[in-house]
Amino acid sequence: MVTDEMVALVPQLHSFARSLCRDGVRADDLVQEALVRAFGNLERFTPGTNLKAWLFTIMRNEHYSQLRRRKFEAPNHDGDSMPDLSVPPDHDGELELRDLNRALAELSPGQRTALILVSASGFSYEEAAAICGCAVGTIKSRVARARETLLERLNGHRRREHAHAGKPRAQASRRARASSALPVTRCTVHSSMGSAPSFR
């Protein structure tokens, strides 16, 4: 039955909703609203066609309808971006996931949606274009730019984290070298500081 297939697609719908809203609570509300609209318009769905694409189209349209309605409401800055983890991650996998979420949040909405549809949700470029209501070439361009930007952002985050992690070790090393060289003159201290590498 179509309704059973819709229920089975809920996890994928939620992932797409999260990519649109970047907020868990809003994503839950968006999924529920999209399903309500889908159930109320089942007579418009043609059996044998792509149910997943139909549901994703409904969700995307509902998302932008909500955005238009919120323009007349007070802005809520708390839910506009993905929250950072409050507890430092314990292993590399969580660090990579945090970096990925952060990089995805920095993409433009069009690029992020196209990338999620094609790379994460398994839609073809043609299906993604139909969902977004644009040309296939536009989707291909958005996906290519999104992938390129994502790689640049991820590499940038990792370089900054490595530099930040290395700073305490470098400072400790300099202190150890200075201690082993005592006593030193003020001139020697200034010379050493001047030749120390910058970690900004």
**Tens digit of each residue's pLDDT (9 = 90 or more) over 133-173:** 999 999 999 999 999 998 888 887 666 666 655 555 555 55
What's the rounded mean pLDDT across residues 16-20? 88
**Contact call for residues 34 and 13 (beta carbons, < 8 A):** yes
Look at residue 9 and tell me if it is in a domain: yes
Shared domain check, 94 and 31: no
Name the helix (H) or strand (E) containing 83: none
- Cβ atoms of 68 and 107 within 8 Å: the answer is no
pLDDT for position 195: 37
Phi then psi for residue 48, to 5 deg, are: 95, -15
Band (pLDDT 50/70/90 cuts) for residue 196 is very low
pLDDT score recorded for residue 179: 45
- The answer to whether residue 143 sits within a structural domain is yes
Alpha-carbon span 20 to 39, nearest angstrom: 21
**Structural domain count, the chain:** 2
| Residue 103 in domain | yes
Indicate whether 178 pLDDT > 60: no
Residue 78 has pLDDT above 50, yes or no: no
Q: What torsion, rounded to 10 degrees, do the Cα atoms 127, 128, 132, 138 define?
A: -110
Q: Are residues 161 and 137 in the same domain?
A: yes
When pLDDT is cut at 50, 70 and 90, the band that residue 66 belongs to is confident
Residue 190 CA to residue 188 CA, distance in Å, equals: 5
Q: Is residue 199 assigned to a domain?
A: no
In a domain, 55, yes or no: yes
In terms of domains, do 153 and 108 share one?
A: yes
Q: In this model, does residue 34 exceed pLDDT 90?
A: yes
Per-residue pLDDT, 185: 35
pLDDT for the residue numbered 71: 76
Structure tokens at 53: 């694409």
Residue 92 pLDDT: 55
Tell me whether residue 197 is in a domain. Answer: no
Burial of 18 (0-12, 13-18, 19+ CB in 10 A): buried
Report yes or no on 193 lying in a domain.
Answer: no
Same domain, 39 and 95: no
User: What pLDDT is stored for residue 171 in this prediction?
Assistant: 57
Give the domain CATH number at 3: 1.10.1740.10
| Domain's final residue, options 45, 62, 81 | 81
Domain limits for position 30: 1-81
- Per-residue pLDDT of 82-139, as tens digits, reads 433 333 444 555 667 777 778 888 888 899 999 999 988 889 999 999 999 999 999 9
CATH number at residue 106: 1.10.10.10
Mean pLDDT of the 32-41 span: 92
Asked whether residue 28 falls in the same domain as residue 51, the answer is yes
Question: CB atoms < 10 A from the CB of 98, how many?
Answer: 16
95 vs 101: CA distance, rounded Å: 10
